[in-house]
């Protein structure tokens, strides 16, 4: 199938290596070799003209432009989709998509290794491009009753209505999803369980999403507690990557436990919005979660803190929160008991019911600050390690 072929451009100045790659590639119907270039300086022009899917560059390229330097130039110029560098064991190279190094192949390599790496790198790049520019947010707290569901709902509405990003809200509390009750949806409303698990497609989404009167789409949790077991981490991964392709913003209301399912959600998020309040249990749990996230390997920038009921220290020293998380919380939302309870009881977002209230301004500001954190084009998890 010629249309499935990967169009490959090779930059290699050692004739023997160039010849070896030619032979390997010509034996594979999956890759079409466009050309082998010897001089790095000609590559950007050739990439524009020949539109390769993958550029394979010798990291030890001699001449005016070195291999890694060329990769960086191509990535900066937004060309081409995927870049693989070849090197020798004595000169190890780290994968760094932001510098144009999507994957590294060490010599000597077999045809199988080369073709496989070209394919996986190309595919990873394609799925990143499809989700580029989308934002996946997980609203999390290690304790219930802190305002997670309230914030997730109102933030999703603010992202769509105020910031103009098409938004979907996902109830990630699969066992005790709060959104059904909050939004007063009928018991037979579809849920995440109504999605086919083997091959989910965009067309399936329309049938399983709940259209809330506030204008956002919502993927509900199953109607009964024991049904949560039917959803696997792999399902979560697939569903989120599908939603990413359709929506600019996805907001997930997460449960308070760190189960495998919660971790599947958290792994996929660009930003974890962790809700804290002036409450000693919440603050203590927040500290242990921060430690867990570090141990998992989440970068510190993946977590942003939302101080809810920021004006109600409840007798606690206000500096305690900043001392626990190591810096001032990125976002703050004031307390407004009357408005929040009334809006929640009616199942409407306060950001629409009372747009002029201070609390609504706080949520809108958070939405504006967060949307620019969208996943950039050409970045993301490395092709070598794959998505965790």
Ligand X SMILES: Nc1ncnc2c1ncn2[C@@H]1O[C@H](COP(=O)(O)OP(=O)(O)O)[C@@H](O)[C@H]1O
Q: Could you list the residues that contact ligand X (CB under 6 A)?
A: 141, 144-150, 178, 308-309, 333, 335-337, 340-341, 344, 359
Q: Which stretch binds Mg ion (CB under 5 A): 34-42, 76-84, 128-136, 142-150?
A: 142-150
Decide which of ligand X, Mg ion, none touches 250; Cβ closer than 5 to 8 Å per partner kind. none
Three-state secondary structure of 48-70:
HHHCCCEEEEECCCCCCCCHHHH
Q: Is position 171 an interface residue for Mg ion (rule: CB under 5 A)?
A: no
The reply on whether position 336 binds Mg ion by CB under 5 A is: no
Query: Cα–Cα distance between 267 and 314 in angstroms, integer?
Result: 34
The tokens 């504006």 sit on which residue? Answer: 368
C-beta closer to ligand X: residue 111 or 144: 144
Nearer Cβ to ligand X (237/342): 342
Stretch of residues binding Mg ion (CB under 5 A), selected from 19-27, 171-179, 353-361, 374-382: 171-179
CB of 173 to ligand X, least distance (A): 8
178 lies in the binding site for Mg ion (CB under 5 A): yes
Give the binding range for Mg ion (CB under 5 A) out of 86-94, 120-128, 147-155, 210-218: 147-155
Q: What strands lie across the sheet with 54-58, from one edge to the other? A: 31-37, 6-11, 54-58, 82-87, 103-106
The continuous run of DSSP H or E covering 137 comes out as strand 135-140
75 or 148: CB nearest Mg ion: 148
Residue 187 near residue 223, CB atoms below 8 Å: yes
CB 236 within 8 A of CB 265: yes
Per the document, the length of the chain is 388
CB of 311 to ligand X, least distance (A): 9
Q: In whole angstroms, how far apart are CA 291 and each of 140, 216, 255, 257? A: 15, 34, 18, 15
CB of 256 to ligand X, least distance (A): 8
Q: Tell me if 262 contacts Mg ion by CB under 5 A.
A: no
Residues 172-181: b if buried by 16+ CB within 10 A, e if exposed: bbbbebbbbe
- Nearest to ligand X of 101, 169 (CB atom): 169
Interacting residue ranges for Mg ion, rule: CB under 5 A: 148-149, 178
């Amino acid at each position: 199938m010629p249309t499935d072929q990967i169009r490959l451009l090779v930059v290699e100045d050692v004739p023997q290596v160039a010849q070896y790659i030619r032979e390997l590639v010509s034996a594979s119907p999956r890759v079409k070799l466009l050309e082998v270039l010897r001089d790095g300086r000609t590559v950007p022009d050739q990439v524009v003209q020949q539109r390769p899917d993958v550029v394979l560059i010798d990291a030890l390229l001699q001449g005016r432009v070195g291999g890694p330097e060329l990769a960086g130039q191509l990535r900066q110029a937004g060309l081409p989709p995927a870049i693989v560098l070849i090197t020798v064991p004595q000169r190890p190279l780290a994968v760094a998509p932001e510098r144009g190094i999507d994957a590294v192949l060490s010599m000597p390599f077999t045809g199988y290794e080369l073709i496989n790496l070209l394919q996986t790198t190309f595919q990873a790049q394609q799925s990143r491009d499809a989700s580029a520019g989308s934002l996946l947010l997980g609203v999390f707290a290690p304790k219930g009753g802190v305002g997670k569901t309230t914030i997730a709902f109102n933030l999703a509405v603010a992202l769509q209505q105020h910031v103009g990003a098409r938004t979907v809200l996902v109830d990630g509390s699969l066992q005790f999803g709060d959104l059904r009750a909050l939004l007063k949806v009928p018991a037979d409303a579809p849920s995440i369980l109504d999605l086919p698990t083997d091959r989910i497609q965009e067309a399936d989404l329309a049938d399983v999403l709940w259209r809330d009167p506030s204008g956002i789409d919502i993927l509900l949790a199953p109607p009964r507690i024991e049904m949560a077991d039917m959803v696997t981490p792999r399902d979560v991964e697939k569903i989120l990557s599908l939603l990413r392709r359709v929506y600019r913003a996805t907001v997930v209301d997460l449960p308070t436990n760190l189960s495998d399912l919660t971790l599947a959600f958290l792994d996929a998020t660009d930003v974890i919005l962790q809700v804290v309040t002036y409450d000693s249990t919440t603050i203590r749990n927040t500290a242990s979660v921060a430690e867990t996230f570090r141990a998992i390997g989440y970068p510190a920038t993946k977590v942003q803190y939302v101080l809810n009921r920021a004006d109600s220290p409840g007798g606690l020293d206000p500096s305690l929160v900043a001392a626990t998380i190591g810096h001032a919380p990125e976002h703050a939302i004031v307390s407004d008991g009357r408005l929040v309870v009334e809006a929640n009881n009616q199942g409407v977002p306060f950001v629409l019911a009372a747009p002029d209230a201070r609390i609504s301004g706080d949520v809108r500001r958070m939405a504006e600050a967060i949307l620019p954190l969208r996943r950039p084009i050409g970045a993301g998890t490395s092709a070598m390690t794959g998505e965790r």
